[in-house]
Amino acid sequence: MKIETSQLPSLLTLQTQLVSLKKLESQARELMARAKAEAIREQLLDLSAKASQMLTDHEELQRDLKRAESDLDLVVKRIDQDQQRLTQATDVKVIAGVQHELETLGKRRSELEDAQLELMERVELSTDSQQQIQAQKQQLQSDLETELEIAKQDLAVVKQEHSAIAAEVNAAKAQIANDLLELFERLATRATAVGVLRGSTCGACNMNLTSTALGQIRAVAEDELARCPECSAILVRE
Ligand SMILES: [Zn+2]
């Protein structure tokens, strides 16, 4: 293949630029995945599950409290009625019966009052815990937003760099003869496409070439394309 030797160094630049583009692309992929944001998302999911369990427990506590309160109401009413009956009763047996019932009701009342107090305390604690978990959730949510915002900004920088290099790549390609560019691109899909021949070392595969191979390369005219016999890379002769 006849070549314009001045185009060969451009191939080296092009190769470096293509490597940079690949690096930037993988950076962009990492940024989009953003391990840190993922970790926060998982914590948020955990907290949400906890919060909904807590809400269920809280509602149950409130139902228990209501039940205890209405039981207590009934007992208090019954005590009032019995005391009323006691003031009107004249029969000793009836009085004894009512008094016995009042004693039982009194015990029941104090049990229910204790239960009510305990439940009220538990409802209060549960309300506090729920507020705490909501606050944690909000904090995580805002951490997540911050992380995503940072990732977004980093991604924008990477994209900008990528498009700048991509523009340079296009400009460089336009300066290179079609057949040479086609060969370069084909080689680049498999391995290093171009390397400088330094002494007896191919810059693409870093192999030390034999004197026979070097002789063959030297026999290639200046304006013809020389390739590495080991890795087939395009050789830039110094
Ligand atoms: Zn080579």
In the chain, list all ranges with CATH 1.10.287.1490: 33-154
Give the integer Cα–Cα distance in Å for 158 and 22: 11
**What architecture is domain 33-154?**
Orthogonal Bundle (1.10)
DSSP per-residue letters across the chain: -B--GGGHHHHHHHHHHHHHHHHHHHHHHHHHH-HHHHHHHHHHHHHHHHHHHHHHHHHHHHHHHHHHHHHHHHHHHHHHHHHHHHHH---HHHHHHHHHHHHHHHHHHHHHHHHHHHHHHHHHHHHHHHHHHHHHHHHHHHHHHHHHHHHHHHHHHHHHHHHHHHHHHHHHHHTS-HHHHHHHHHHHTTS--EEEEETTEETTT-PBPPHHHHHHHHHS-TTB--B-TTT-PEEEE-
Q: In what order do the strands lie in the sheet with 234-237?
A: 201-202, 194-198, 234-237
Give the integer Cα–Cα distance in Å for 117 and 124: 11
CA of 167 to the centre of ligand 1 (A): 29
pLDDT in tens, the chain (238 residues): 889 888 999 999 999 999 999 999 999 988 887 767 888 888 889 999 999 999 999 999 999 999 999 999 999 999 999 999 999 989 999 999 999 999 999 999 999 999 999 999 999 999 999 999 999 999 988 988 888 888 889 999 999 999 999 999 999 999 999 999 999 999 999 889 999 999 999 999 999 999 999 999 999 998 999 999 999 999 999 8
DSSP per-residue letters across 197-212: EETTEETTT-PBPPHH
What region does 34 belong to: left with phi over 0, alpha with psi -120 to 50, or beta? left
Residue 11 one-letter amino acid: L
CA of 225 to the centre of ligand 1 (A): 14
CA of 4 to the centre of ligand 1 (A): 21
CA of 206 to the centre of ligand 1 (A): 6
pTM greater than 0.85 (yes/no) = no
CA of 227 to the centre of ligand 1 (A): 8
Residues in CB range of 15: below 8 A, 6 or more apart: 184, 188, 192, 193, 194
CA of 195 to the centre of ligand 1 (A): 7
Q: Other CB atoms closer than 10 Å to residue 228's CB: what's the count?
A: 22
